[in-house]
Structure 1
Amino acid sequence: MSDFEPTLTAFILLKTTRAWLEMSVPERVTAFQDNVLPAIKDKADDVRWRYYDTEFYTARVTDIWVWEARDHEAFQLVVEALRETPFWDHYFEIVEILVGVENGYAKHYDTDILTTNIA
Structure 2
Amino acid sequence: MTMPEAPTAEILTVFMLVKTEPEWLGFPVETRFAKLREHVEPILQRHAAEVRMRFYDAEFYTARITDLWVWEASSRHAYELVVEALRETPFWDRYFRIVEIIPAVENAYARNYGQSPLAA
TM-score by length of 1: 0.89
Aligned to 2:4: none
CA–CA distance in structure 1, aligned partners of residues 28 and 63 of structure 2: 21
Deviating beyond 3 angstroms after TM superposition, the runs of 4 or more aligned structure 1 residues are: none
| Letter paired with 1:95 | V
Deviation at 1:6?
5.3
CA–CA distance in structure 2, aligned partners of residues 112 and 34 of structure 1: 43
- Give the 3 Å change call, closer, same or farther, for CA 85–27 of structure 1 in structure 2: same
CA–CA distance in structure 1, aligned partners of residues 96 and 107 of structure 2: 30
Out of 91, 98, 102, the residue aligned to residue 87 of structure 1 is: 91
Residues 18-45 of structure 1: CA distance to partner in whole angstroms, max 9, x if unpaired? Answer: 0100001001001111122223421221
- Contiguous gaps of at least 5 residues in structure 2: 1-8
1:53 matches 2:57: yes
Residues 67-114 of structure 1: CA distance to partner in whole angstroms, max 9, x if unpaired? Answer: 111111111111111111000001100001111000001111111211
Are 1:9 and 1:100, in contact at CA under 8 Å, matched by a contact in 2?
A: yes
- Contiguous gaps of at least 5 residues in structure 1: none
Question: Alignment RMSD, CA only?
Answer: 1.2
Are 1:6 and 1:68, in contact at CA under 8 Å, matched by a contact in 2?
A: no
Aligned length: 112
- Give the 3 Å change call, closer, same or farther, for CA 57–31 of structure 1 in structure 2: same
CA–CA distance in structure 1, aligned partners of residues 73 and 43 of structure 2: 17
| Letter paired with 1:36 | V
Are 1:39 and 1:85, in contact at CA under 8 Å, matched by a contact in 2?
A: no
